[in-house]
Chains A and B, each alone.
Chain A
Amino acid sequence: MNPAEPAQPAAGRSAESGVPVVSVRDLTIEFPTMDGTVTAVDGLSFELPPGGALGIVGESGSGKSATSLALMGLHRGTSARISGEIDVVGVDVVSASDAAVRAMRGNDIAMVFQDPMSSLHPQFTIGDQIVEAYRTHTGAGAAQARVRAVEALDRVGIPDAARRVRAYPHEFSGGMRQRVLIAMGLVCEPKVLLADEPTTALDVTVQAQILDLLEDLRADTGMGLILVSHDLGVVAGSTERILVMQKGKAVEEGTVHQVLGSPQHPYTQALLAAVPRVEVSRAERRAANRADREAAAAAGARPAETAAPAVPAEPGPSEPTATGATASGAAAEPAGPAPGASGTTAAGPSAAPASTGATAGVGAGEPLLTVSNVRQRFRIRGGLLGRATDFYAVDDVSFEVRKGETLGIVGESGSGKTTLSRMIMRLLTPTSGSIVFEGRDITRLSDRALRPLRRDIQMIFQNPYSSLNPRMTIGDSIGAALRVQGERDSKKVKGQVQDLLHRVGLEPDHYNRFPHAFSGGQRQRIAIARSLILRPKLIICDEPVSALDVSTQDQVLRLLSQLQDDFDLTLIFVAHDLAVVRQVSDRVAVMRKGKIVEMADGDSVYESPEHPYTKQLLAAAPVLNPDEARHRRAERARLRQQSTDPAVSA
């Protein structure tokens, strides 16, 4: 069928039949903890008409996942206390018997989870897992159930389903596993599909495929869809109504066009403003950031270099008392940049020429780092006699990074971007090629000779939860590098660390605290401080914001941009998120399968992409405008029908 039309018929159906398939009234979920009761969801109400599509949006801790688990009755057997009413296709999930809830799960309402890598049982074939779901609810025979399983797999686009039904989950990629999970959900033809962050763990092109698939299925089967996500862009193109949650409460609900077009609640406005947009250029973004900073400085809130807008928004070290204050803080603060961001469209054109001039000046700068024809080979063991096959994670990559600029490297998982950054750090030695830093060939320097160089090149890692040693105070973590480099005077170290903590928007007296006391965004600030302590010339940021909520992400990006101005840094910014990369990078390199397929200044890559892969990436990027999203979906469907290029979907 034509994928361009699905939304309308689905909406039509929902208008006809009156009885909602899901109806939640005054739902409250509480968890008793050692420090008292935590209210995850507080008086939530919503409805889903048959065949409708509802997006539930919120940041971590907003209670959206607790809500989706409650819809499935999966809180049973835990300490959670649920009150209110949840009606799913006539079953009262709060009070029904266990047997009734089990009969409902998977049959009337099916759920697709966030992480496809861990949501399938590793020791059973996917066929067995789907068959099990079908037989549990229908009592069908094994042979018939298997036929159904193959049909379901075929429907979700698993190629060669009749054969693959016997494969184990580890034989599938992440996107394919998510398709399997969807097939498992579909096999009993549920009235509602509940998808909790179904694409968060996936690459952008795969994300687009999965969302397109969900849309198709909804149109074909007339099932309702509840799409839970932190990403407004994901929800924009796939739902009819949106419910925005904050701290367990629904702060705004309305049609997609209402909520995204003219948001009423300040939190929704802030959330929208924080979403990095692929259509906003670096110059516009920088101008907006500078304007915000100057405005803050003029207001006399704080000296300009202290990242004034960012600081109050994050929850303080997690004392329970602080959360009450930050609840209003988080709502109020990001509202600040919102006018600035919306003002960009107006201010953009006028600001752009000025900063283009600035970047032109930067562009003329001398190269700090020159990477020529580097390759990295990994040996993969396999076969009967342990024969090894060669695999090039990075294959013949060359580029230059000039002083003071930011080079964005964008690519999907497996593109070799992380391997490349590890080679520049010389954590890996390239198999061939050369890396020249400040005119010196560092490709084959010994570990000892590299040590002074470690001052100059630093790295910020993706996961702020695992990249800080939990048993060291953050002061020690940050100061360790100074000590390693020979600084003996403890007072001096402490002084420098505290100064830096201040610069990244933390308090100097956080020096003696341990990482667990900080939120994700704060940890990433700590990681940034740690990378800055040695006054490096080059910082490689490997997915520095991909583990963070949008509003936190926005703050960390602002901080990085400001620090780049303050410390005259050169950055290599590695990420999978096209929009994020665009907003921080002067030049952008697109990587795929170990090679750079396209490299140019940021705006030309995004506005007139040359390589088909870049075009495909851009077409897959989620956009906030629902009409634009549907338009792009139709475009993708057309492209898919034109050419079925298996290499791209892999």
Chain B
Amino acid sequence: MLAYILRRLGAGVLLLAIISLVTFAIFYIVPRLAGRTTEQLAAMYVGRAPTPEAIQATIDRLGLDEPIPLQYWEFVRGIFMGAEYRFGRQIVECNAPCLGYSFQDYTEVWPTILDRLPVTVSLAIGASVIWLIAGIGVGVVSAIKKGSWFDRVAMGVALGGVSLPIFFTGLIALAFLSYQWGIFPDVGYVPFTESPADWAYHLVLPWFTLAFLHAALYARLTRAGMLETMSEDYIRTARAKGLPERRVVMKHGLRPTLTPILTIFGLDLGLVLGGAVVTEQVFSLNGIGRYAVVAIASSDLPVILGVTLVGAVFIVLANLVVDLLYAWIDPRVRI
């Protein structure tokens, strides 16, 4: 068990190293392959009227003229040991884990991410609870009442849910529920510590919008899995024991159905924790996803690298947790 966890964590670290390398390469090597010079690269971070001096200063400050492997090494060392940055004459200490400074507004990346994390986590946890309960619940009922009007309507709605993008459902929800009828506040985030009620109230729309998409998928998966499980021999055995149908479905039928769904849930949760880009954008939530969007638009490499790595960490951890849960749910899986 412990050996397994350590092995998985080791693999996770390796994965993170590869991801950071690739991201690094995309932003440093690809522009050069396209023919950009160091000066042109630096000019992007100078401002409206780049003077040669300002460009040179930027190159020095960011270390853009150093060999790329060395730049990567500096970056990695910063994460573990911290780093020092020079802004003109001023020397700034960046404590480990140092993901560097934003090229655009000179703020430190890691504290910014930490600052925005509660927003993203709130969004992700709330939405995932909703989509799990709704998706699995609807899927189970659809499966047992296969062919009924409930099944047909639910699967129709689910098909819509899978095919409608969040910027559509989100904007529709905002337009009616917020602007038109004023049931929910439009945008903004209230920290949980300030007022849990307000926190939830402000997040209801984003939660449901994000959950709708996933719930639709989970309902379809649960229905399909449940239909398969309910035709297994051991379900017949359970019925032959004289168990009430509710128990046959909820205990004997649901558990095997949940195992593959759990795997997908691990991936989805990891993805959403790494930033629900569209949802955060639509509802103007200043989470990690929105941070990434702004950074990409302005080629802010350290921010992009930082957000990518944090997202990858979430995915690796979520998958590890899921695999451990998997072994608990299904005793045949040996760890």
A interface list, Cβ under 8 A from B: 72, 74, 98, 102-107, 110-111, 113, 115, 118-123, 125, 132-133, 136-137, 168, 170, 181, 184, 384-385
Contacts and interface: CB of A to CB of B under 8 A. Distances in A.
A183 to B, nearest CB: 12
B244 interface: yes
Contact of A119 (B233, B244, B255, B330): B233
Given A74-B239, A106-B241, A136-B244, 12 more contacts: A72-B240, A98-B245, A106-B243, A113-B237, A119-B233, A119-B236, A122-B234, A122-B330, A123-B255, A123-B331, A132-B241, A136-B242
A187 to B, nearest CB: 9
B317 interface: no
A112 to B, nearest CB: 9
A320 to B, nearest CB: 25
27 contacts: A74-B236, A74-B240, A98-B245, A102-B243, A104-B242, A105-B240, A105-B241, A106-B241, A111-B240, A113-B236, A113-B237, A118-B234, A119-B233, A120-B234, A121-B234, A121-B238, A121-B256, A122-B330, A122-B331, A123-B331, A125-B331, A136-B243, A168-B332, A170-B331, A181-B237, A184-B241, A385-B3
B329 interface: yes
B7 to A, nearest CB: 10
Contacts of A123: 255-256, 329-332
Contact of B241 (A98, A118, A136, A168): A136
B66 interface: no
A168 B331 CA distance: 7
B232 interface: yes
B151 to A, nearest CB: 15
Contacts of A102: 242-244
B77 interface: no
Nearest to A168: B331
Given A168-B332, A384-B3, A122 B241 contact: no
Contacts of A120: 234, 237
Nearest to A170: B332
B252 interface: yes
Interface string B304-335: 00000000000000000000000001111000
A405 to B, nearest CB: 42
A113 B233 contact: yes
A384 B240 CA distance: 40
A133 B237 CA distance: 10
Contacts of A106: 240-243
Contacts of A132: 241, 243
A544 to B, nearest CB: 26
A98 B243 CA distance: 11
B105 to A, nearest CB: 49
Contacts of A122: 234, 256, 330-332
Given A102-B244, A105-B242, A110-B240, A121 B252 contact: yes
A415 to B, nearest CB: 25
B17 to A, nearest CB: 23
A121 B330 contact: no
A133 B255 contact: no
Contacts of B234: 118-122
A396 to B, nearest CB: 31
Nearest to B234: A121
Interface string B250-261: 001001100000
Q: Is the interface of B mostly helix, strand, loop or mixed?
A: helix
B233 A115 contact: yes
Nearest to B1: A384
A382 to B, nearest CB: 8
B331 A105 contact: no
A123 B331 CA distance: 6
Given A103-B242, A133-B242, A136-B242, A121 B237 contact: yes
Contacts of A121: 234, 237-238, 252, 256
A119 to B, nearest CB: 5
Among B234, B241, B331, the most chain A Cβ lie within 10 Å of the Cβ of B241
B242 A137 contact: yes
A110 B238 CA distance: 11
A194 to B, nearest CB: 9
Nearest to B332: A170
A125 B236 CA distance: 17
A547 to B, nearest CB: 18
A181 B234 CA distance: 11
Contacts of B332: 122-123, 168, 170
Contacts of A111: 240
Interface string B208-246: 000000000000000000000000111011111111110
A173 B11 CA distance: 36
Top 4 nearest A-B pairs (CB, nearest first) are A106-B242, A105-B242, A118-B233, A133-B241
Contacts of A181: 237
A261 to B, nearest CB: 34
Nearest to A128: B251
Nearest to A116: B233
Contacts of A385: 3
Contacts of B3: 384-385
Interface in B253-298: 255-256
Contacts of A168: 331-332
Given A123-B255, A123-B329, A168-B331, A118 B232 contact: yes
A639 to B, nearest CB: 32
A532 B240 CA distance: 46
A76 B242 CA distance: 13
B111 to A, nearest CB: 41
Nearest to B4: A384
Contacts of B236: 74, 113, 119
Contacts of A104: 242
Contacts of B243: 102, 106, 132-133, 136
B34 to A, nearest CB: 45
A132 B244 CA distance: 11
A288 to B, nearest CB: 40
Given A168-B332, A385-B3, A119 B237 contact: yes
A105 B238 CA distance: 10
B61 to A, nearest CB: 49
B64 to A, nearest CB: 45
Contacts of B241: 105-106, 132-133, 136, 184
Given A123-B255, A123-B256, A123-B331, A107 B233 contact: no
A107 B329 CA distance: 29
A269 B238 CA distance: 38
Nearest to B2: A384
Which of A107, A121, A122, A133 counts the most B-chain CB atoms under 10 A from its CB? A121
Nearest to A122: B332
Contacts of A133: 241-243
Best-buried of B238, B245, B329, B330 by chain A (most CB within 10 Å): B238
Nearest to B259: A123
Contacts of A110: 240
Given A121-B252, A168-B331, A385-B3, A107 B237 contact: no
Contacts of B239: 72, 74, 105
A385 B4 CA distance: 9
A107 B242 contact: yes
A115 B232 CA distance: 11
A110 B241 CA distance: 7
Interface centre among A102, A115, A170 (most CB of B within 10 A): A102
Contacts of B256: 121-123
A74 B236 CA distance: 8
Contacts of A113: 233, 236-237, 240
B325 to A, nearest CB: 13
Contacts of B232: 118
Contacts of B245: 98
Contacts of B233: 113, 115, 118-119
Contacts of A118: 232-234
Nearest to A130: B241
A132 B248 CA distance: 11
